[in-house]
Structure 1
Amino acid sequence: MKVVKFGGTSLASGSQVKKVIKIIAADKKRRVVVVSAPGKRFSEDTKITDLLLQLAENDIQKKDNTKLRQQIIQRYQDIADDFGLGPDITNELTEYLKKIETGKYPSEAFFRAALAAQGEHMSAWLITKLFQASGLKARNLTPEQIGLLVSSRPGQAQVLPRSYAKIAQTKLNEDEIVVFPGFYGVTKEGWINTFARGGSDITGSILARGFASELYENFTDVDTIYSVDPHLVKDPAAITKMSYREMRELSYAGFGVFNDEAILPAIEGQIPINVKNTNDPEKKGTMIVPASQIHRKSKITGIASSDKFSALFIHSYLVNRQVGFSLKVLQILADLNISYEHMPSGIDDITIIFAKDQLTNGRKEQLTQRVKDEIKPDTLEWKNDYSIIMVVGEGLVNRVGAIAGIVDPLKDKGISLTMVNQGSSEISIMLGVRPSEEKKAVEAIYDANFKDGKPIVKNQ
């Protein structure tokens, strides 16, 4: 049995949904289908989830939502029209959405989460109807029905371990296709709560583990995962197979194919993942598998980069001899509910790297003041625009001169590094650069390690 997830672009229009139906009908093992909310149909279009979040804000501010609600429902009606289904099918969605809007919630944050989740909920409901109208035996199931329980931080849900046993107990009827909404689960108190954006990938991974599926197919709008962002490098090398941990490292640092949390349940269940293109489903795509199935002759699998970071530089002489220095810093972060990404250090300094979204609502200012008051550093400096480049590959393990082959091309291009750090797993090397030099640095590393769309293979 296979779990299959379709992203927003795969469900943005009736013509796209027809492709989805062909894909499901082509393989009887595709029994569990996870759907996203309809995405953009063209570059200037707006995703349904963004429209729903605006709907929530308007409700909170007590603005008239009639036109916005109609705009949302019309997107679903446009899809239904391609299948010859009349307005009766979306009238029910209109009443349902109004019911969600007028419900009672423990906080505005939970209200936003409940509204945001409705894109997937309504998508699953409609896709089930369209499957049935196309002759497929389909049934819609929801997180409430199968017991997909999540934690209670609004908009940052994490699956509760007991969910997997509940999912495993869900009975699938013979030759039946189950259509399931992505992006959300329910708390033990019964409130709807969403995962981070990109959460439909997380749902697919959870169900793949819960149902112990033989494969998790993730359909998107690209033929494969590439070794680098095609917007940065023209015609980059395709990755036909990669390890779970390579994907995790690259997703974290900016790869847009997967949310970096999304594959954790699949890893825990050792479920292989196949990333494929809805628009060209016959292509093999990229397989994501355990590291034991990877045998690299080249050093580098992929290069990712992001400018979503800020860095706090703390300089204090003889940091290495100050017992409890790092503990004091970590305690301040814990008190302010701030998580950090990395903390490279030297004998006299520590640099703490944060995702920028951790420093909102005055927390940056509070952190600065508390470090000044409690740590009393000789120097405290913020680098508000900070880019990280992550160079990843199973072939980096035990490779002589691995860092030189990555850093030397930057030196040749006159690019200065603000940080170099190799992960303990040895499959990743992290570089800090100025945002203005991020693209140039990625190009330099790629050109030194890839040629003609393939990685360069050198002897140890």
Structure 2
Amino acid sequence: MKVAKFGGSSVANAVQLQKVGDIIRSDADRKFVVVSAPGKRYSGDEKVTDMLIQLGDSYRDGKDYDQHIVKVMDRFKEIVDDLGLPQNILDDIEGTIQEVLRKDTSIELKLDALKAVGEDSSAKILSAYLQSVGENASYINPQEAGIIVSNDPGNAHILKESFSKIYSLREKDGIFVIPGFFGYTKEGELITFSRGGSDITGAIIAAGVKADMYENFTDVDSVFTVNPTLVDNPKEITTLTYREMRELSYAGFSVFHDEALIPAFEKGIPVCIKNTNNPQAPGTNIVAEKKESDKCVVGIASDTGFCSIYISKFLMNREVGFGRKLFQILEDEEVSFEHAPSGIDDMSIIIRESLLTPEKEKRVMERMKKELQPEKIDIHRDLAMIMVVGEGLVSTIGIAQRATTAISTANVNIEMINQGSSEVSMMFGIESEGLQRALQSLYTAFFE
């Protein structure tokens, strides 16, 4: 039994949905299908989820939102018409949008419900298309499927009692199409996962039904050793461990949501990343364990948009409670941190710049100066993080030396290093302008 998840590019238009239908019909083991909202049809196009967010923002701000409803419905009408499906599907989709807008509930829940319309509509359209070509297919709402989540709008987490409910789906016949990205609280409120959460839904369903395989269909043949938009023709990765994939996803690999592997990992379900446009390609397999290799580095991930807060205080290491007071300030301002490399008198806190608004930055810096009494404190913006990832990395001699030499060869200065906090990765912080040079040099050092 397989669970197949199809991303936004796979359901962007009627042509792509027909490919999805062919893939499902080619393997009787693909009984459970999870879908995203329609993505971009071409470069410069809009994702349906972004359209729905614009709709929600206009509603919240008291602006005219009818134009956004028209845009969303035009997109779905094109798909429905091109597939030759009945028009009542469009009436159902628009009715769902209007029902959400009329419902007497908080603005947070209303915005979550609007965002979920994309995935919900994709599932209804795909199930109707499969029925039109003779398949015994059904749309299943996440509430009916048993996806019970925490009451945390925009950042839901699955509750353990969900899995026994999901397992009962095995007893039913046919193909089941389930919208990704959202679930329901025990009180029946619709709550979404974080952005990209359809991957999470796919893994939850795979874990719940105890699938033999979780297939994640996207628009690339496999995971690459480095971002192909930054390095030309990088090598493909055939096999990864869960830990390696999670580190790569967290650090900028957009193929997989970085939280998505957790349910599959906990149940030991193998994952395969495949291409909707080339389903015969073997893809990348993600497994619990793999054979050791002399070439332990499997990938190099990167991401931009970071800043660091640098704090220096003499004998910081002897001051009991210094770290607690520092992180309490961040917690009070609802700012999460990514890394925290430290020395005896110095500490750097790596934060995503998007979390540190000018207002929050001012409050955080003022409180740190007042409550921590540092000798020096400043903020460094426009940083990029590079993660060198691989099982056995910390126990392999010379990896750090090869990495630092490669970065220096690219004439890029290393602002910070964090090694040892993870057994499968080491992190380098650099100025964003040198990212492409550093990645090319690292790729050459480890893969060519």
Task: Specify if TM > 0.5.
Answer: yes
> Which residue of structure 1 lines up, in the alignment, with residue 96 of structure 2?
96
Name the SS for the 1:236 alignment partner: coil
CA–CA separation in structure 2 for the residues paired with 1:219 and 1:332: 41
Contact kept? 1:5, 1:34, Cα under 8 Å: yes
Contact kept? 1:2, 1:213, Cα under 8 Å: yes
Q: How far off is 1:31 after superposition?
A: 0.5
> Which residue of structure 1 lines up, in the alignment, with residue 405 of structure 2?
408
Contact kept? 2:410, 2:441, Cα under 8 Å: yes
Matched, 1:257 2:255: yes
Q: What are the residue-to-residue correspondences of 1:60-459 with 2, within 5 Å?
A: 60-106=60-106, 108-174=107-173, 176-290=174-288, 292-360=289-357, 362-451=359-448
Q: How far off is 1:395 after superposition?
A: 4.3
Name the SS for the 2:95 alignment partner: helix
Name the SS for the 2:370 alignment partner: helix
Name the SS for the 2:342 alignment partner: coil
Contact kept? 2:6, 2:217, Cα under 8 Å: yes
Q: What are the residue-to-residue correspondences of 1:6-25 with 2, within 5 Å?
A: 6-25=6-25
Q: How far off is 1:166 after superposition?
A: 1.8
CA–CA separation in structure 2 for the residues paired with 1:47 and 1:75: 10
Q: How far off is 1:86 after superposition?
A: 4.2
Q: 1:70 to 1:167 in 2, by over 3 A?
A: same
Q: 1:334 to 1:71 in 2, by over 3 A?
A: closer
Contact kept? 2:394, 2:420, Cα under 8 Å: no
CA–CA separation in structure 1 for the residues paired with 2:342 and 2:407: 22
Matched, 1:57 2:54: no
CA–CA separation in structure 2 for the residues paired with 1:96 and 1:139: 18
CA–CA separation in structure 2 for the residues paired with 1:55 and 1:411: 47
CA–CA separation in structure 2 for the residues paired with 1:308 and 1:294: 35
CA–CA separation in structure 2 for the residues paired with 1:191 and 1:215: 30
Q: 1:215 to 1:99 in 2, by over 3 A?
A: same
Structure 1 runs of 4+ off > 6 angstroms? Answer: none
Q: Which runs of 5+ in 1 are unaligned?
A: 452-460
Name the SS for the 2:5 alignment partner: strand
Contact kept? 2:316, 2:344, Cα under 8 Å: yes
Q: Give the superposed CA RMSD.
A: 1.4
Q: Which runs of 5+ in 2 are unaligned?
A: none
CA–CA separation in structure 2 for the residues paired with 1:95 and 1:306: 40
> Match for 1:269: what amino acid?
K
Contact kept? 1:294, 1:394, Cα under 8 Å: no
Q: 1:320 to 1:62 in 2, by over 3 A?
A: closer
Q: 1:370 to 1:214 in 2, by over 3 A?
A: same
CA–CA separation in structure 2 for the residues paired with 1:228 and 1:74: 37
- How many residues get paired? 448
CA–CA separation in structure 2 for the residues paired with 1:391 and 1:196: 25
> Match for 1:151: what amino acid?
S
CA–CA separation in structure 2 for the residues paired with 1:96 and 1:341: 38
> Match for 1:169: what amino acid?
S
> Which residue of structure 2 lines up, in the alignment, with residue 29 of structure 1?
29
Contact kept? 2:314, 2:375, Cα under 8 Å: yes
Q: How far off is 1:335 after superposition?
A: 2.4
> Which residue of structure 2 lines up, in the alignment, with residue 457 of structure 1?
none
